[in-house]
Structure 1
Amino acid sequence: MNTSVIRYLLGYILKLEGFLLLLPCIVAGIYYEKSGIYFLIVALISIAIGFIFSAKKPRDFTFYLKEGCATTALGWVVLSIFGCLPFYISGEIPSFTDALFETISGFTTTGASILPEVESLSYCMNFWRCFTHWIGGMGVLVFLLAIIPLSGGSNINLMRAESPGPSVGKLVPKMKHTARLLYIIYFGLTTMEIIFLLFGKMPLYDAICTSLGTAGTGGFGIKNDSFCGYNVYLQWVVTIFMILFGVNFNAYYLLFFGHIRDALKVEEVRYYFGIIIASVVVISVNIAHMCTGVFDAVTKAAFQVGSIITTTGFSSTDFDRWPELSKTLLVLLMFIGACAGSTGGGIKVSRIVIAVKTILKELNGYIHPKSVKKLTFEHKPVDHDVIRSINVYFMTYAVIFVVSMLLVSVENYDFTTNFTAVAATFNNIGPGLSLVGPTCNFGFFNNFSKYILMFDMLAGRLELFPLLILFHPSIWKELFIQADKKVKGNRKEKQNVRM
């Protein structure tokens, strides 16, 4: 394993986070808040350690999938630990576990909070909460790909380890240009949302924080009632942009270069919008008697469907009071999630579609044993390796979900609370039902359960395997062997110098 590259990239991650931590300092300066000093302290420490880690360039920049997964998982853990320090040392979140939970929830774009009163936080702290969504939405390592030269298939391996979805490819021949293009689209859509929100007379601070949370499909609100207090125009703007950020960015690439017909033919996106439209219709009819009219029902249904399927987690109403059909449908949408290659979480529409097609193919095989029908997706044949990896993903997903449920259930809360708490964190959604509903928070869980849910948030955001690989014995064995060889090599060099 190329540990020198891992160390080098972790150094860059720390430096990048250090510079990003300076932005809340600016917010603190604008609002004359003393809390900004804590961001400055952590930023300087992060930058200093980052420079130490990345001072010595690796001799070999070759970087394969194993190193990609290890770097991604370690990078997100380090990112979260340093990111939570301003909350903790300032005392605004006095518990380290709670501060870490809030930060991991931010970076993984989950939006599950332990805070009963978000408005009690200072402006700079609330800005950092929302900004972590934007950083984690596209991925910090994707940003690094635009500036760090790697070889040996390294770039695509690093992106595969961090990007959500069953497969990741290049939009343009060079991965560096792909990363830059993704961030141009990401930044452009975020800026557009801010402008539209300002047209609705939303305050600039609110518009920026809301757009950061929407772009990362995170859902940290800066108001205690999330989005209930904003007008209908602002709710529809956020609804539309939540859905747009849940679209596979490959479709935006096609639109960006004028391939409109090809963009409209993207199969996953068509299924994604089909699921949204069908869900909005069903829920609108189901909650009509609880609303003031058809438009009000559609507004509430569209907002919550868009929020849940994209795993954003904003709420414009207490959907825990909706009829059972609507709540059940929302829980199903939690698992489906957004498109692959978007900022959304969940299992992903592409995996669901391929799994359904695989079932239909098997049924067809029973009815017509001699027929040979190739499974296709996005107008291309699906390789057996892709189907195998999706099946393994589903099995691993089920095992982690069940084990998490059992461990969290030790606290003896009701089944709905435990089930939706795991579902909401594992799928990076935020609110669940019952005690973790849209008007509640996760602060009542004990520290053990919180760490289980933190693991779920990281595993869900990193598509399971990059995080699980850290627990594989062979990884640590290789690290210790290489460390031992390095120590022995240094001893030999010192002996040679003495002689």
Structure 2
Amino acid sequence: MNYRMILRLICYILRVEAVCLLPSLLISFFSGETGAVIGTAATIVISALLSLTSFLLPPRDKQISAREGFLSVALCWVVVSLIGALPFYISGAVPSYIDCLFETVSGFTTTGASILTDIEAMPMGLLYWRSFTHWLGGMGVLVFLLAVIPMGKGKNSLLHVMRAESPGPQVDKLVPKLQDSAKILYAIYIGLTLLQIVLLLLGGMPLFDSVTTAFGTAGTGGFGIKADSLMGYSHYLQGVCTVFMALFGVNFSIFYLLLLRQFMKVLKNQELLLYLGIMLGGILIIAFDILPQYVNIGEALHQAAFQVSSIMTTTGFATADFNQWPALSKTLLVLLMFVGACAGSTGGGIKVARVLLLMKAGRRNVKRMLRPRSVSQVHMDGQTVGEEVVQNTHSYLALYMAIMVLSVFLIALDEFSLETNATAVIACLNNIGPGLDMVGPMGSFSAFSWHSKLVLTFDMLAGRLELFPMIMLFVPLAWKRT
């Protein structure tokens, strides 16, 4: 086990976190927010000092194995969250450290579940940091490092790290060099974020609101700076967010193909077609279901489109209290929480690619039952999917269900309604944010006990890292030297 290389990665992350906290410090300073200045400055110093540890224990070997890749990614996300929670705690803005950790993990994992009951009372600097954690966690903090810093030697070292952090059943490189792929991903990510900020500014949204909203949209996180999320903004601004939430739920390789003008590959991409089909179908069904609650079909379509885009991409912004919608619409939204966005996007959930793969594998298995001697393989986009990928997908689903059931059981100790408990776990495990009942779009997670918040915090990290890296932290065999 290359412990020193793992430590080096953690220290890299801490340095990145210290730098990323600087804008928050400046905003708090110029806003006259003394407590936030002290809290943020202290966190920067702590993060910077801890990051010096790697100089005392430099790695002798810079190779990263698959096991070390999974463990280092999980540990990096845990450490970055533990430190990232300090500005809220030291400043006194959030008195409980467990609450600070929950809020920070919710930010980095782009979940958007919140314990805050008075968001607008928070210092501007901390609101900025809270939203920026969405943007940084959306594409992945280690993917960012891959784009700017050479982290290991060997052709597979970087791939092991990226595979552990990137969402989806498998990781594909856009170009031969993985570091160049990371640069391309972040260039697209930054470009789309800036475009959304410009469009929001053109609609009259203030600069601070535009930047934080774009961070929440790009990371498909959903932290708002207003108590009513995006309800108070114009239909134009809500429409811009609807479109960009849907865009950030698309596999980023699609945008790269569009830049290369390979339009036929885009049009034939089965995951993209299923993603758009599910989204469009959900919008139409919900629009007609909620029509009696709105003045006309246009308004119903607007609200349905926003909420379907928000929930399916696991963003979590809201323009309506869907707790008040009919049972059919609420049920459909919960089902969309499971589906999630595309693999290779910033969205959470099971992922459309896995849903498609499970459908194809199920059909293949039925054929085998009818014709036992036939040779049948699973294909996606004209390519054969390896049996290892199919088996991993089934393993993922089994582990996903086990974690979900156990989590619902554990937080039931708080004795809230089943609707609250079940959708709270679903919302956290799928990195969505709002659920139903007490944790609906106008509610919060503040009423849960400290142990339930820790369970949900684990769920958010497990959901963001595709389960296995977080589970490995608790497997003794993963830590044994080989």
TM-score range, shorter chain: over 0.9
Alignment of 1:427-446 (within 5 A): 427-446=430-449
RMSD: 1.2
Task: Spell out, residue by residue over 1:44-65, the C-alpha distance to the aligned partner (whole angstroms, 9 max, x if none).
Answer: 2201211222455322111011
Q: After alignment, is 139-148 or 155-164 more displaced?
A: 139-148
Task: Spell out, residue by residue over 1:321-368, the C-alpha distance to the aligned partner (whole angstroms, 9 max, x if none).
Answer: 101110000000000000000000000000001101111122223334
Q: What residue in structure 2 maps to residue 120 of structure 1? A: 121
**Matches of 1:399 and 1:294, distance apart in 2:** 41
Q: After alignment, is 177-186 or 371-380 more displaced?
A: 371-380
**Matches of 2:324 and 2:387, distance apart in 1:** 44
Are 1:460 and 2:453 an aligned pair?
A: no
1:148 to 143, 147, 150: 150
**Unaligned runs of at least 5 residues, structure 1:** 483-499
Q: Which amino acid aligns with 2:38?
A: I
Contact kept, 8 Å, 1:156 with 1:169, in 2: the verdict is: no
1:96 deviation in Å?
0.5
**Matches of 1:54 and 1:230, distance apart in 2:** 49
**Matches of 1:42 and 1:54, distance apart in 2:** 20
Alignment of 1:401-420 (within 5 A): 401-420=404-423
Q: What residue in structure 1 maps to residue 396 of structure 2? A: 393
**Matches of 2:131 and 2:80, distance apart in 1:** 15
1:206 deviation in Å?
0.1
**Matches of 2:90 and 2:372, distance apart in 1:** 66
Contact kept, 8 Å, 1:15 with 1:48, in 2: the verdict is: no
Q: What residue in structure 1 maps to residue 38 of structure 2? A: 37
Q: What residue in structure 1 maps to residue 322 of structure 2? A: 319
Alignment of 1:65-464 (within 5 A): 65-146=66-147, 147-152=149-154, 153-464=156-467
Q: Which amino acid aligns with 2:334?
A: V
Contact kept, 8 Å, 1:9 with 1:54, in 2: the verdict is: no
1:260 deviation in Å?
2.0
1:447 deviation in Å?
0.3
Q: What residue in structure 2 maps to residue 19 of structure 1? A: 19
Contact kept, 8 Å, 2:314 with 2:347, in 1: the verdict is: yes
**Matches of 2:151 and 2:452, distance apart in 1:** 40
Q: Please, what TM-score do these two structures have when normalized by structure 1?
A: 0.94
**Matches of 1:168 and 1:47, distance apart in 2:** 32
Q: Which amino acid aligns with 1:135?
A: L
1:373 deviation in Å?
3.0
SS at match of 2:52: helix
Q: Which amino acid aligns with 1:203?
A: P
**Matches of 1:407 and 1:44, distance apart in 2:** 37
Task: Spell out, residue by residue over 1:403-424, the C-alpha distance to the aligned partner (whole angstroms, 9 max, x if none).
Answer: 1011011111111001000000
**Matches of 2:30 and 2:289, distance apart in 1:** 46
Task: Spell out, residue by residue over 1:201-235, the C-alpha distance to the aligned partner (whole angstroms, 9 max, x if none).
Answer: 00000000000000000000100000111110001
**Matches of 1:283 and 1:55, distance apart in 2:** 58
Q: Which amino acid aligns with 2:84?
A: G
**Matches of 1:75 and 1:315, distance apart in 2:** 31
Contact kept, 8 Å, 2:39 with 2:89, in 1: the verdict is: no
Percent of matched pairs sharing the same residue: 49
Q: What residue in structure 2 maps to residue 9 of structure 1? A: 9
Q: What residue in structure 1 maps to residue 58 of structure 2? A: 57
**Matches of 2:252 and 2:45, distance apart in 1:** 34
Shift of the 400–312 alpha-carbon distance from structure 1 to 2, 3 Å rule, reads same
SS at match of 1:58: coil
Contact kept, 8 Å, 1:18 with 1:43, in 2: the verdict is: yes
Q: Which amino acid aligns with 1:108?
A: T
Contact kept, 8 Å, 1:307 with 1:313, in 2: the verdict is: yes
**Matches of 1:32 and 1:258, distance apart in 2:** 49
**Matches of 2:245 and 2:350, distance apart in 1:** 17
**Matches of 2:107 and 2:84, distance apart in 1:** 10
1:106 deviation in Å?
0.4
Contact kept, 8 Å, 2:217 with 2:244, in 1: the verdict is: yes
Contact kept, 8 Å, 2:38 with 2:90, in 1: the verdict is: no
Contact kept, 8 Å, 1:16 with 1:47, in 2: the verdict is: no
Q: Which amino acid aligns with 1:78?
A: V
**Matches of 1:324 and 1:457, distance apart in 2:** 26
Q: What residue in structure 2 maps to residue 492 of structure 1? A: none
Q: Which amino acid aligns with 1:182?
A: L
Q: Which amino acid aligns with 2:203?
A: G
Contact kept, 8 Å, 1:7 with 1:54, in 2: the verdict is: no
Q: Which amino acid aligns with 2:343?
A: A
Task: Spell out, residue by residue over 1:419-469, the C-alpha distance to the aligned partner (whole angstroms, 9 max, x if none).
Answer: 000000000000000111111000000001000000000000000000110
1:269 deviation in Å?
1.0
**Matches of 2:475 and 2:246, distance apart in 1:** 37
Structure showing greater Rg: 1
SS at match of 2:85: helix
**Matches of 2:219 and 2:211, distance apart in 1:** 12
Task: Spell out, residue by residue over 1:377-409, the C-alpha distance to the aligned partner (whole angstroms, 9 max, x if none).
Answer: 121111111110001001101111111011011
Q: Which amino acid aligns with 1:250?
A: S
1:370 deviation in Å?
4.2
1:158 deviation in Å?
0.2
Q: What residue in structure 2 maps to residue 495 of structure 1? A: none
**Matches of 1:448 and 1:52, distance apart in 2:** 31
Shift of the 132–54 alpha-carbon distance from structure 1 to 2, 3 Å rule, reads farther
**Matches of 1:30 and 1:308, distance apart in 2:** 36
**Matches of 1:31 and 1:305, distance apart in 2:** 36
Q: What residue in structure 2 maps to residue 490 of structure 1? A: none
Aligned residues: 479
**Matches of 1:324 and 1:473, distance apart in 2:** 45
Contact kept, 8 Å, 1:12 with 1:54, in 2: the verdict is: no
